[in-house]
Amino acid sequence: MKPMTIKPTLHKTLFLGLFLLYGWGAFPVQAADPQESHQALQGLKKWLALPHADRTAVTEQPFARTALTRPDADQAQQLLWQDQLTALKKAAASQWENKKIKIDNWEMKFDYRTFGTKPTDGWSLYISLHGGGGAPTQVNDSQWKNQINLYKPKEGIYLAPRAPTDTWNLWHQSHIDPLFDQLITTGIVHMDVNPNHVYLMGYSAGGDGVYQLAPRMADRWAAAAMMSGHPNEAYPLGLRNIGFTIHAGENDSAYNRNKVAAEWKQKLKILHQQDPNGYFHEVNIHKGLGHWMNLKDAVAVDWMAGFTRNPLPDKIVWYQDDVTHNRFYWLAVSAGQEKPNQLVIAQRRDQTIRILKATGPENLILLLNDQMMNLDKPITVHYNKKTLFKGIPTRTIATLHRTITERKDPQLIFSAELNLNLPF
């Protein structure tokens, strides 16, 4: 007896019927068709060959939603990233040479020094935030110029930005995050900065900024160092996957900086005890010293250099500050869903993702690539003892293009996504 065969058109019809009957979570999604995937890649090449002015949006192209094989997805990613680099290079060169980042009405000047020899995988980048805060412009200018010469890494680009405002919270207002995103992108594109070796540090009011920016932008940093600052309302939960060091003077009692540093030492200790693979930290309360620590804190530079960013950690703790984000490592929420105080904890192992906690968002987007897991095999997503998804995710040009243009980070590009509604 001959084995039964099903014609491709009939097979697709049956599959569609099962999908409509059971939904995404109950029936594995079909793997990419190699011929259709190849045609989609050829469509992308033709689209990229057009002048930018003649291109319609990728989302309007039929090839953008076609399921890709892994080889075609890898090639599409390379093509899209190179196209993005070409588009960014001119602006990046101008910004770096003028030492100025501008977004809308916000402008951030910077100066930098280069130390050592560039490694084969690119420069390290140290972003160092000056103090001052609620003070006249000339005072903050003086603090900025002082910060430029304050620390000296063994290797890397040591860069001191000038805060766009002279307010007390000059380093943790909402315009700072996109300015830093663009600054890092400019360094990657124009100066060959290694995106996995980007570090944040700051003194006094700059330390205030580190307390806030390190956890809420943790997916950008390898490590961060806080010197003589105050966290205000910040929480350390988002620091799970970076190194974090605190330096404060024992006698720095203004705004209780010394007491708060000791409190954070205890908080980080407890977090690390509860999660031994995360929250690596070092806290130094320098005896007999006040707000100025006589550069005893300079050891933080070498300490940070021992850390390399993991852009695809196996566990993520995402806590939304008062300045919110819609992406964090391989997690995202739909536009408008991000709100202060939301918390999502997710963990992945092999082909399984578990959402351990989710307070606030009604939907959650999981961003996936083949460095995280095998996207040619079924994956399973669990939450509250429920299976939200079980199947083969679909790699598409649309997801590649969006994640490239959103972050412009070569280590945070994803080919597939799962948009999940979270049951209460």
Region 151-164: mean pLDDT is 98
pLDDT band at 6 (very low <50, low <70, confident <90, very high): very low
Region 391-417: mean pLDDT is 97
Q: Tell me which of 248, 277, 305 is where a domain ends.
A: 305
Q: How far apart are CA 16 and CA 101, in angstroms?
A: 49
Span between the terminal Cα atoms of the chain, in Å: 52
Q: Is residue 11 part of a domain?
A: no
Length of the chain as a residue count: 424
Question: 221 and 156 in one domain?
Answer: yes
pLDDT tens per residue across span 219-246: 999 999 999 999 999 999 999 999 999 9
Q: Is residue 377 part of a domain?
A: yes
- Cβ count near 363 (within 10 Å): 13
Residue 6 vs residue 40, higher pLDDT: 40
Question: 276 and 331 in one domain?
Answer: no
Beta strands per DSSP E along 294-408: 315-319, 327-328, 331-332, 343-349, 352-359, 363-368, 379-383, 386-391
Q: Is residue 5 part of a domain?
A: no
pLDDT band at 299 (very low <50, low <70, confident <90, very high): very high
Q: Is residue 32 part of a domain?
A: no
Compute CA 351 distance to the chain's CA centroid, rounded to the nearest angstrom.
Answer: 22
Bridge partners for 319 per DSSP: 343
Question: Which 8-state DSSP code applies to residue 371?
Answer: T
Question: What SS3 class is residue 36?
Answer: helix
Q: How far apart are CA 352 and CA 74, in angstroms?
A: 22
pLDDT band at 24 (very low <50, low <70, confident <90, very high): very low
Question: 265 and 213 in one domain?
Answer: yes
Compute CA 154 distance to the chain's CA centroid, rounded to the nearest angstrom.
Answer: 25
Question: 214 and 156 in one domain?
Answer: yes
Question: 350 and 273 in one domain?
Answer: no
Question: 250 and 160 in one domain?
Answer: yes
β-pair type (156-161, 331-332)? unpaired
Question: 398 and 328 in one domain?
Answer: yes
Q: Is residue 115 part of a domain?
A: yes
Question: 104 and 63 in one domain?
Answer: no
pTM for the model = 0.92
Domain count across the chain: 2
Q: Is residue 106 part of a domain?
A: yes
> Which residue, 261, 201, 212, 260, is CA-closest to 236?
212
- The average confidence (pLDDT) of the chain is 93
Q: Position 345: which residue type?
A: I
Question: 419 and 364 in one domain?
Answer: yes
Question: 365 and 286 in one domain?
Answer: no
The DSSP annotation for 59-90 comes to: GGSGGGGS---HHHHHHHHHHHHHHHHHHHHH
pLDDT tens per residue across span 351-380: 999 999 999 888 999 999 999 999 999 999
* Residue-level pLDDT at 23: 38
Question: 284 and 204 in one domain?
Answer: yes
Query: b or e along 16-38 (b: 16 or more beta carbons within 10 Å of the residue's beta carbon)?
Result: eeebeeeebeeeebbebbeeebb
pLDDT tens per residue across span 256-285: 999 999 999 999 999 999 999 999 999 999
pLDDT band at 20 (very low <50, low <70, confident <90, very high): very low
Q: How far apart are CA 278 and CA 307, in angstroms?
A: 12
* Residue-level pLDDT at 376: 96
pLDDT band at 335 (very low <50, low <70, confident <90, very high): confident
Q: Is residue 26 part of a domain?
A: no
Q: Is residue 33 part of a domain?
A: no
Residue 109's H or E segment, with its range, is strand 106-115
CATH number for the domain including 153? Answer: 3.40.50.1820
Q: Tell me which of 288, 305, 322 is where a domain ends.
A: 305
Residue 105 has pLDDT above 70, yes or no: yes
Q: Tell me which of 305, 325, 346 is where a domain ends.
A: 305
pLDDT band at 419 (very low <50, low <70, confident <90, very high): very high
pLDDT tens per residue across span 166-202: 999 999 999 999 999 999 999 999 999 999 999 999 9
pLDDT tens per residue across span 112-149: 999 999 999 999 999 999 999 999 999 999 999 999 99
Are the C-beta atoms of 304 and 281 separated by less than 8 Å? no
* Residue-level pLDDT at 31: 82
pLDDT band at 30 (very low <50, low <70, confident <90, very high): low
Question: 82 and 63 in one domain?
Answer: yes
Question: Which domain range does residue 73 map to?
Answer: 40-88+312-424
Q: How far apart are CA 393 and CA 384, in angstroms?
A: 21
Burial zone of 204 (CB within 10 Å; 0-12 exposed, 13-18 middle, 19+ buried): buried
pLDDT band at 414 (very low <50, low <70, confident <90, very high): very high
The DSSP annotation for 269-320 comes to: HHHHHHSTTS--EEEEEETT--S--TTGGGHHHHHHHT----SS-SEEEEE-
